[in-house]
Chains A and B, each alone.
Chain A
Amino acid sequence: MSLTDALDIRAGENAHLILRRATVLDPVAGIDAVHDVVVRDGEVAGLAGPGEADAEGAEVVAAEGLHAFPAFFDPHVHLRTPGHEHKEDVETGTRAAAAGGYCGILAMANTQPPVSTAADVSALREQARAGASVTVGFLATVTKAMAGSELTEMVELREAGAVGFSDDGLPITDAGVMRRALQYQHLCGGNIALHEEDPRLSRDGAMHEGPVSAALGVAGIPSVSESTMVARDAALAGYENARIHVQHLSAAESVEAVRAAKAAGVMISAEASPHHLCLTDEAVRSLDPHRAKMNPPLREERDRQALIEGLRDGTVECIATDHAPHQPEEKDVPFEQAAMGVTGLETAFAALHTELVLPGVIDLSLLVERLAGGAAPFDLERPTLAPGSEANVVLCDLGAEWTVGEDGYESRSANSWCADQTLTGRVLMTVAAGQVAFRLRSFSLGVAA
């Protein structure tokens, strides 16, 4: 299904744009050339030769030297509504997404109260139609109140429009409950996204267990807390011929478990977050709760390398930010007491471009592909620039340097893991479902001149 068929966005005017002489890169569609990108009537109307598109009635964007990609899709965002609107809501969260080059996101269900009934889903969809800058889909919880013991009314939730299911924030520790959910998937459909963690192994851990936690005296969360649960659920999914999506992989052993499951034919997909791809537990040495406290925790260099290898060989098909807004009072406390999570929507592309593409660790085309790879696991059409497809386009300046947070954030929260860092590569404009969702202010002024 296309994003607009399955997800919700505020109704608005379709853009009529020409991105003149943009360098167009869509690795999946096999496009890598300079074109005039024509956006009209909600579609990529065409890719004309450079300078050839008819400007009649269109806004022309001078895009020479700039890159146009299929806009990104994030299957893992915390919009914090209902219940924690002081951290984020549909409007601010989707603005942040648009500023990061995303045309669509999936919102997690661990709100207050959790999204567990058809009425919850309907109310959120209505909010999205009223105020979302990009397309939004909502997941519902797998278990009632995320208590891990009884399944939600999954058929009714799907009928109300839940894109899939997740108890993210908490694992489903009871293997029997997990198995029932997988069996029930044959009736209700919808992928099940899993936060993999064995709380009996992670206990009161606040960071990765290893030499750094030993030095800091902070209780550790061992890698096997994640990887044993990935292996368990892969086995259950294989046994029930059901489908799972593993969220925020962090450990080398987990990547290996997903790889082995895929090789065995299990229907399993996986995501990794920008912070796990860029940082290790060395970042925790400072005990700075603002940037380095999240769950799963930042792990070691070997884990980071395993995630990168997973991106390369397709074990990890998508990058998901796990955008988790928090207010300063939850972070201005000692590390172990601080809330888990960092924001990431506005910086994902720039951070990964700076940390992985510029040093030559991965190709630009792989990054672009994986940043839009989060749609397919949820039966959504991958954003593409192929003519005739829904217009989901991001325009980037790969040479632009900027400092994270210098102009504030679109998100209501400022707990960015890369705050104050200077990054190279900047989103200038985002088109989501045919509408202009974001323009960088300074860039717009430049165009007018």
Chain B
Amino acid sequence: MKHLLSIEQLSRGEIEAILDRAESFAEVGRRDIKKVPTLRGRTVVSLFYESSTRTSSSFDLAAKRLSADLISVKAAGSSVEKGESLKDTVATLSAYDPAAIVIRHPYAGAAQMVAGWTPAAVVNAGDGKHEHPSQALLDVYTLRRRLGSLEGIRIWIVGDVLHSRVARSNLIAFARMGAEVTVCGPPTLIPRGIEELGCEVSYSLDGVEEAEVVYALRMQQERMSESFVPSLREYAANFQIDTRRLNPRQLLMHPGPVNRGVELSGEAIDSPQSLIAEQVAAGLVVRMAILYELLAGGEGGKTANQGEGSQPTPIGTPA
């Protein structure tokens, strides 16, 4: 695997390989010294054209835990504000010979285009409303830890599916791991033709009690002004996951950041069946595993950049 551009491109085996690797990093995370020298001397560029807390901080920390040198570029305050094109920005950053570029961009296909412009490995940290593969991997990781396997598990993804890259990546990943996925939300927020990705569609929460896992999506304030839903109040009345709707055997997930009282009730967020904190923790080890697989894993650790210090060091060797 040269790049991580989408879940669509990954086989079940490739997904499992990343999750297995993440398990070994979870073990490293329990040590006093949480850093390994694997990517010592190599450079990771993190290039974010959209605001992000979880994804950018966990990729940054993942790179540091692997001992990589990190360049973190945010669109705000960079030459992007001076009108530099994505292509030129990527060319500039590629001049530092990075081993990987982690990119978040507001438009679909951006990561894939970047992969055509740089010799570095490219990690899609979210491209428009298209895909968010590292989120899907950490969610599968979280569920696999809790349930052992996703085979035959019924998962409902609830909310603004239309504008959600998380929904798209997750439904593909869950289905690929053997789960049965239903997407649920008001008809205005369910994209026409989504069922062809291999999911059921429901316009109400009737039947959600059958699910083992309920995955709520973030409901954005600006959707109100575009008439996707008449009001947050009406949305919450019909689609909010609260402790009355959630039965005690069900697991609750959310990619964050949560709008308390909109898609989830405060009580549900804080309930023991909520996996939200585990998802965040999983984000770090899964993103370490992604960087490891791309830069040090695969065919005997062969990588695009074989310069000095590029040889991976096995996990477990203290830094």
**Could you tell me which A residues sit within 8 Å of B by CB distance?**
209-220, 222, 287, 289, 329, 332-337
Contact = CB atoms under 8 A, between A and B. Distances in A.
B194 A335 contact: no
Contacts of A213: 191-193
Given A287-B112, A335-B107, A216 B130 contact: yes
Contacts of B129: 217-219
Interface residues of B, number: 25
Nearest to A217: B129
A292 to B, nearest CB: 11
B85 A216 contact: no
Contacts of B192: 209-211, 213-214, 220, 222
B108 A287 contact: yes
B75 to A, nearest CB: 14
Nearest to A332: B87
Interface string B59-88: 000000000000000000000000001110
Contacts of A334: 86, 105, 107-110, 113, 127-128
Interface of B: 8, 85-87, 105, 107-110, 112-113, 127-131, 164-165, 168, 191-194, 196-197
Nearest to B87: A332
Contact of B191 (A220, A335, A337): A220
Contacts of A219: 129
Contact of B193 (A210, A289, A332): A210
Interface centre among B109, B110, B130, B191 (most CB of A within 10 A): B109
A211 B165 CA distance: 15
Contacts of A289: 109
A132 to B, nearest CB: 34
A222 B191 CA distance: 11
Interface centre among B130, B164, B168 (most CB of A within 10 A): B130
A409 B147 CA distance: 59
Nearest to B191: A214
A334 B112 CA distance: 9
Contacts of B112: 287
A329 B84 CA distance: 11
B105 to A, nearest CB: 7
5 contacts: A211-B197, A219-B129, A287-B112, A334-B107, A336-B128
Contact of B108 (A210, A216, A329, A332): A216
Interface centre among B85, B128, B129, B131 (most CB of A within 10 A): B128
Nearest to B129: A217
Contacts of A222: 192
Nearest to A203: B226
A335 B85 contact: no
Contacts of A337: 107
A333 B83 CA distance: 13
Nearest to B161: A214
B130 A217 contact: yes
Nearest to A215: B197
A336 B109 CA distance: 9
B184 to A, nearest CB: 15
